[in-house]
């Protein structure tokens, strides 16, 4: 099988030199992926068939697509602790592999240096490095889409991904990714940003661990990532075996970091120390001159010695709006000259600010129940353009934005907080199907897919909700 593959590689490589169209090179178990990549020309695809490939891959800067035929559950590249498993170039596309067994200084599973590859549907599992247990990025704008980062470790920071910036040249995208059970001995159990501002969308951070700060995300230097529609659950920062401070069970922000968080949930994250009053920020810790901004976020059941949801120290300043901070203790704590501007939010123990309330938010799985005081309690001037909540529904369904990550009212056409047959009768004119022009604002409550159509799929979803 190997000789057949290599013969095909030789013919296709010759064709590429003569200006032939992009080719597909097949790799089967027992053959070398690296040999196929070496023979491929720009624009070619290397298609890898199911199996475990014990090797390390270097694209040498080539814009080549490396794709598995059947996905990461049956196709593995195992570095066998011999170094970084995959080194990418600009234009590289990596799709559908399990990357494991990496062992390196910067990036155990993958190294991205001065490049902007696209990585889709990959699983990075059980890799280790001094920095960037699974992935290390230095100067580049890589995209990670639909990837899983699990059980990766680092002696330093960024057990999942370490974005290491130089002059603001490092960023990229994490979209629809999952980070679970990754461990950093320093900062960033899942993600470490240093002078880097990636875009992070619809990602889940579950049960990650860091010793010093930011078990989910640790932002340092001048890092200003945007974090949208993300879930932070059961992440833990601790110094249980030493008398040092620890910060940010889910996220830490230091120096001049100014992340923007929208539609995010923080639940049962914690910061724990061996000695009292050393653990700060069960959800978020903000220090130095950090200036994070939070919009429509929900904090529930987080824990720390100081600031069960938010801890602010130094000259940090946090802005919070349309959010819920509940089911803990002292949710917000300011130290030193740190400040928090909170408006149109529900804060346990209360907090001064325009539109704030202090009342049980009446949550069920972090979603608002029909008797929640957080319904229609957000900033009356908030007018999103095509905005959606964490479930993907229209952000404003009944005239005014709700507090927290989830909007109440899907299916409630008449906005009486009850979903019943009257909603479908009253809203029958909304069921017009596609290509009938824009519908009125009230019809968004019946657009379960929020695809700007109200059709039979939405009607079926409504009937399911009615019967639940």
Nearest-CA neighbor of 248 among 318, 296, 197, 199?
318
pLDDT band at 337 (very low <50, low <70, confident <90, very high): very high
User: pLDDT exceeding 70 applies to what percent of the chain?
Assistant: 93
Torsion of CA 303, 309, 313, 315, to 10 degrees: 170
Q: Are the C-beta atoms of 173 and 158 separated by less than 8 Å? A: no
Residue 110 has pLDDT above 70, yes or no: yes
Q: Report the pLDDT value the prediction gives residue 384, as an integer from 0 to 100.
A: 74
Residue 200 CB coordination number (10 Å) = 26
396-431: pLDDT as tens digits: 999 899 999 999 999 999 999 999 989 988 888 888
φ, ψ of residue 256 in degrees (nearest 5): -110, 25
Whether the Cβ atoms of residue 330 and residue 295 lie closer than 8 Å to each other: no
pLDDT at 3 > cutoff 50? no
Q: What pLDDT does residue 434 have?
A: 66
* Integer Cα distance of 446 and 449 in angstroms: 9
Mean pLDDT of 341-357: 96
Give the confidence band of 468 by pLDDT, cuts at 50, 70, 90.
Answer: low
Q: Closest by alpha carbon to 87, among 121, 65, 115?
A: 115
Q: Where are the domains of the chain?
A: 1-46, 47-363
Q: What is the pLDDT of residue 4?
A: 31
Mean pLDDT confidence for 264-268: 98
Question: What is the total residue count of the chain?
Answer: 468
User: How many other β-carbons are positioned within 10 Å of the β-carbon of residue 43?
Assistant: 14
Q: Which of 231, 169, 228, 227 is nearest to 194 (CA)?
A: 169
pLDDT on residue 240 = 65
| Residue 376: strand pairing partners | none
Its pTM stands at: 0.93
- Phi/psi for 426 (5° steps) reads -65, -35
Mind listing the pLDDT tens digit for each residue in 4-19? 344 334 333 333 444 5
Amino acid 407: pLDDT: 96
Residues 227 and 202 sit within 8 Å (Cβ to Cβ) = no
CATH code that applies to domain 47-363: 2.160.20.10
pLDDT at residue 289 is higher than 70: yes
Calculate mean pLDDT across residues 61-82: 97
- pLDDT given for residue 152 in this prediction: 98
- Mean pLDDT across the stretch 195-204? 97
The pLDDT-based confidence of 244 (bands split at 50, 70, 90) is low
Question: pLDDT for 177-192, tens place per residue?
Answer: 999 999 999 999 999 9
């Amino acid at each position: 099988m190997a000789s057949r593959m290599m013969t095909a590689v030789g013919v296709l490589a010759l064709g590429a030199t003569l200006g032939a169209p992009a080719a597909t090179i097949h790799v089967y178990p027992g053959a070398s992926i690296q040999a196929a990549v070496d023979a491929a020309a720009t624009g070619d695809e290397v298609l890898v068939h199911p199996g475990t490939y014990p090797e390390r891959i270097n694209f040498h800067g080539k814009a080549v697509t490396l794709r598995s035929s059947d996905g990461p559950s049956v196709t593995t590249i195992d570095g066998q602790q011999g170094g970084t498993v995959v080194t990418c170039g600009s234009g590289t596309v990596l799709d559908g592999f399990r990357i494991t067994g990496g062992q390196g200084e910067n990036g155990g599973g993958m190294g991205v240096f001065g490049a902007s590859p696209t990585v889709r549907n990959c699983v990075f599992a059980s890799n280790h490095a001094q920095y960037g247990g699974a992935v290390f990025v230095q100067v580049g704008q890589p995209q990670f889409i639909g990837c899983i980062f699990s059980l990766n470790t680092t002696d330093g920071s960024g057990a999942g991904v370490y974005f290491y910036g130089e002059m603001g040249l490092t960023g990229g995208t994490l979209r629809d990714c999952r980070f679970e059970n990754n461990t950093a001995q320093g900062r960033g159990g899942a993600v470490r940003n240093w002078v880097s501002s990636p875009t992070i969308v619809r990602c889940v951070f579950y049960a990650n661990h860091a010793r010093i700060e930011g078990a989910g995300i640790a932002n340092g230097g001048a890092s200003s990532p945007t974090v949208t529609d993300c879930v932070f659950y059961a992440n833990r920062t601790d110094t249980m075996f030493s008398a040092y401070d620890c910060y940010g069970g889910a996220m830490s922000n230091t120096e001049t970091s100014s992340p923007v968080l929208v539609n995010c949930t923080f639940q049962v994250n914690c910061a724990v120390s061996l000695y009292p009053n050393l653990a700060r920020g069960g959800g978020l810790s903000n220090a130095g001159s950090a200036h994070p901004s939070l919009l429509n976020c929900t904090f529930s059941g987080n824990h720390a010695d100081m600031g069960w949801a938010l801890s602010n120290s130094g000259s940090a300043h946090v802005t919070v709006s349309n959010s819920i901070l509940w089911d803990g203790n002292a949710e917000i704590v300011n130290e030193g000259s740190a400040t928090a501007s909170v408006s149109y939010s529900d804060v346990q123990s209360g907090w001064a600010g325009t539109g704030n309330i202090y009342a049980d938010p009446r949550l069920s799985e972090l979603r608002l129940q029909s008797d929640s005081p957080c319904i229609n309690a957000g900033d009356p001037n908030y007018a999103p353009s095509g905005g959606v909540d964490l479930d993907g529904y229209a952000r404003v369904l009944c005239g005014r934005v709700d507090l927290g990550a989830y909007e109440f009212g899907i299916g409630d056409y008449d906005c009486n907080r009850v979903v019943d047959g009257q909603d479908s009768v009253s809203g029958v004119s909304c069921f017009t199907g596609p290509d009938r022009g824009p519908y009125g604002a009230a019809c968004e409550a019946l657009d379960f897919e929020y695809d700007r159509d109200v059709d039979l799929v939405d009607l079926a979803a409504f009937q399911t909700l009615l019967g639940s």
